[in-house]
Chain A
Amino acid sequence: MFNVQIDESASWQPGDLIPADTYEITLESIEPRSLPIRVSPLRTRVTGFLFPEAVRWTPPAPPAPETSADDGSIKIAEETKPKNRRPKNRHRIKPPSDVVKLQDRLYYLLQPPLDLLVGGGQLNFPFEPFPYQLDGIAFMFPRYACVLADEMGLGKTMQAISTIRLLLCSGEIRSVLLVCPKPLVSNWIREFQVWAPEIPVAAIEGNASKREFEWKSPNVPVKIANYELLMRDKDIVLESGLHFDLVTLDEAQRIKNRNSTTSEIVRAIPRTRSWALTGTPVENSPDDLVGIFDFLSPGYLQVGMPMPQMAAAAREYILRRTKDMVLDDMPPKLYRDAELDLTPDQWATYESAESEGVIQLKELDEMLTIQHVFELVLRLKQICNFDPVTGSSSKLERLVADMEEVAASGKKAIVFSQWVNSIDQMRPALERFGATEYHGRIPHKKRERVIEKFKNDPDSHVILMSYGAGSVGLNLQFCEYVFLFDRWWNPAIEDQAINRAHRIGAAGAVTVTRMLATNTIEQRIADVLEHKREIFDTLFSDQTTPVSKTGLSREEIFGLFDLRAPGGKKVA
């Protein structure tokens, strides 16, 4: 046990914790200050564009809803329309680079894609256009100057008509002049009926007073004239105050020669838009393109411009597609070169004609002109077709043999020759194949009937055509065989001829037989052309360049007979 005494006075007391004295500290009060951070309201500025033209595009009012019992079937049909299709690649109209104003650029950009117009029933198309054709329409629609240079058979006519139709519907244009070669006028009218049946179209024809009335008629928005007629009606077209919103030239290579009267008249037609259609924008030299551009935009291209520079300048204005580029399902084109030996009669005549001819040419010496050489070439080529004395022809023998097979298989063929006389000579042997003829001596009025007969008569297996009359604008895609009885100077013309058969809708592969007499002038020409074709193909491998074929130059023609061109160098 502990007994502890606590001394209270010495002990720690609770009161000891409180200090006897205190300090007073005064603190200043905290006064917060507000710092305003103002966020300005977000604002924006607006730019507006009105397109009053849209009113004119308004389609007709929809038919009143039907309430009959048959309603269901109609609805089903509508539902199966390709409305829900959502293709990835739209065919939009893109403004060209020379359209600068934002309002104008937006006008084109804001249009519905063309594939919707076609699918939507606002513009009825008898057949669904190919995608590249919609691209062609989208290309032409906003352009005031352009060249549609698609290869033959891709439907330049349809693309031009559809674009004209769209422009007329949109109110952008009201008067159109279409100029084409005379044989194609009826073809254009027919195509307008197919692709734009609601648009009134008139061909300018008849006597002078009738033509004057037609030229001045404001009720027909599309007028079709041929090149020859333009010359006759020059005064009315140029002097009577006419103005066209659009002038379209078909087969525009007709104005490649800038100094020709046709070219001068065409360039002087008062107009706002200028389009050119041609499958062969360049036939002989790149300067041909200058001729066409003098119509589109005078001075834009110049003769002698370096080719790359010309190609770059023209690119924005030219659209060219070839069948290889756009048609995967186009039937093939098969070439067969029928290299034939002349008959003994032909040989004898040919050899004497050539040796005598060359001697005569040499005797002319300084007087020698290209015309003299041409005459000899033509005479020799005619002998290669038929012997002038006996009429024997190795080409005809071969043609008849081939035609046996064509007719036996129920097919049809086109035979092209440069001369109507040659056609006359081959006709008797081809009568039994139901031969029909289409050339310069067949009156225009009868030509359509000839084509109809050839197309519809099962016993008519062959049509004999001259390059001049039959090489452009005709659709003979039901033919599977083409015979070139003689060769044209220019491969572009041959291609035009071949493409009468090898075009959209062709039934099958098109076989092209090129007849050629070996060891003759024909072979020499063919060799030169083939060589040139190779050079061009190398030069213009870029698909956007609109040139591929050319004819023979002056020096080359002299060179065929190892002659010296006067004032020029000798060409071997």
Chain B
Amino acid sequence: MAQTTELTIAYFTVVFDERTGWTGGLLVLNRGGRPVEFQCTLPVRPSRAHEILFGTTLRDHLIGEVIGPMLIKKCRTPIALVCCDQPESLTLSSAAGGVPVALVSEAAEMEEGPITSDMLVGASVVKFVNATLHVPVEHTSAVEEVAGRFVDLVDAIEPFERIKEAIKEAQSQIARAS
């Protein structure tokens, strides 16, 4: 029983802002969709040298190798699944100690445009409340099991909005303080 009630999932996204830089947020929710933990980074501002040398791989590097692993490392609540809205985050699984990472199609499409199966090689599709998850095939059954236990969640896409609101709030408070 205790284990059932403690089941949590994490939502992860990174927000880019010309002025402040790249800020990541990780929101851990319980089965009722309520916040259990929130971790966010201070904005990362890559230098001009980073931009030139990393080129088009800078985004992959920041989301999948710098911000994501750091947030997951700092997260104190055990999580059963990481939902993300940026394909670059799919590499996080190894940093998350094997916790499955799923791309929420509907949330990703808002920025990326349509997500098709040929874009994500080796991914299968799992239905999660009102969302479609793209999951590495090796994690399909694990994600299906988690999805089956989150019956009380009403909207699996909306939590990304909460992270963005919270990041905005944190940044405005930092701006006021400085």
The residues of A with any CB-CB pair to B shorter than 8 Å are 37, 39-51, 54-55, 57-59, 61-62, 65, 83-84, 86, 90, 92, 102, 105-107, 109-113, 116-117, 119-122
Contact = CB atoms under 8 A, between A and B. Distances in A.
Contacts of B158: 86, 90, 112-113, 116
A48 B169 contact: no
A485 to B, nearest CB: 51
Contact of B169 (A61, A90, A106, A120): A106
Interface string B30-49: 11111111111111101101
16 contacts: A43-B70, A44-B24, A47-B41, A50-B76, A51-B34, A54-B32, A54-B35, A54-B36, A57-B34, A83-B154, A86-B155, A105-B173, A110-B165, A110-B166, A111-B35, A112-B159
A109 B169 contact: yes
B40 A46 contact: yes
Contact of A49 (B37, B43, B70, B71): B37
Interface of A, secondary structure class, is loop
Interface string B48-92: 011001000000011000110011001111000000000000000
Given A42-B62, A59-B32, A86-B155, 9 more contacts: A37-B49, A42-B50, A62-B152, A86-B130, A106-B166, A112-B34, A121-B152, A121-B154, A122-B154
B33 A112 contact: yes
B35 A107 contact: yes
A46 B41 CA distance: 4
B74 to A, nearest CB: 4
Contacts of A58: 5, 30-32, 34
Nearest to B162: A110
Contacts of B170: 47, 102, 106
A170 B67 CA distance: 31
Nearest to B41: A44
Which of A55, A57, A109, A110 gathers the greatest number of chain B CB atoms within 10 Å?
Answer: A110
A37 B34 CA distance: 47
Contacts of B38: 48-49, 51, 106, 110
Interface of B: 1, 4-5, 24, 27, 30-44, 46-47, 49-50, 53, 61-62, 66-67, 70-71, 74-77, 129-130, 148-149, 151-155, 157-159, 161-162, 165-166, 169-170, 173
Contacts of B50: 39, 42
A172 B151 CA distance: 25
Contacts of B70: 43-44, 46
A116 B74 contact: no
B129 A83 contact: yes
A386 B1 CA distance: 73
B4 A61 contact: yes
A320 B106 CA distance: 37
A216 B130 CA distance: 47
Contacts of B76: 48, 50
Contact of B165 (A37, A59, A109): A109
A92 B34 CA distance: 13
A109 B37 CA distance: 13
A159 B36 CA distance: 26
Contacts of B159: 112
Nearest to A47: B40
A117 B27 CA distance: 18
B30 A55 contact: yes
Contact of B162 (A44, A55, A109, A119): A109
A102 B169 contact: yes
Which of A37, A62, A119 gathers the greatest number of chain B CB atoms within 10 Å?
Answer: A62
A261 B36 CA distance: 45
Contact of B49 (A39, A44, A48): A39
A444 to B, nearest CB: 41
Contacts of A121: 152, 154
Contacts of A106: 35, 38, 166, 169-170
A3 B130 CA distance: 107
Those 6 A-B pairs whose CB atoms lie nearest each other, nearest first: A120-B154, A110-B35, A44-B41, A54-B34, A116-B154, A46-B74
Contacts of B34: 51, 54, 57-58, 111-112
B71 to A, nearest CB: 6
Contacts of B152: 59, 62, 120-122
A57 B30 contact: yes
A46 B39 contact: yes
A41 B71 CA distance: 16
Nearest to B45: A42
A83 B32 contact: no
B130 A83 contact: yes
A122 B152 CA distance: 7
A39 B30 contact: no
Contacts of B153: 120
A47 B39 contact: yes
A54 B169 contact: no
B154 A45 contact: no
A84 B130 contact: yes
A51 B35 contact: yes
Contacts of B155: 83, 86, 112, 116
A40 B47 CA distance: 9
A49 to B, nearest CB: 5
A113 B162 CA distance: 9
B37 A51 contact: yes
Contacts of B129: 83
Nearest to B163: A110
B37 to A, nearest CB: 5
Given A50-B36, A51-B36, A44 B169 contact: no
A48 B76 CA distance: 9
Contacts of B42: 44-47
A55 B166 CA distance: 20
A122 B149 CA distance: 15
A15 B163 CA distance: 87
Nearest to B173: A102
B174 to A, nearest CB: 9
A351 B120 CA distance: 94
A106 B4 CA distance: 26
Contacts of A122: 32, 152, 154
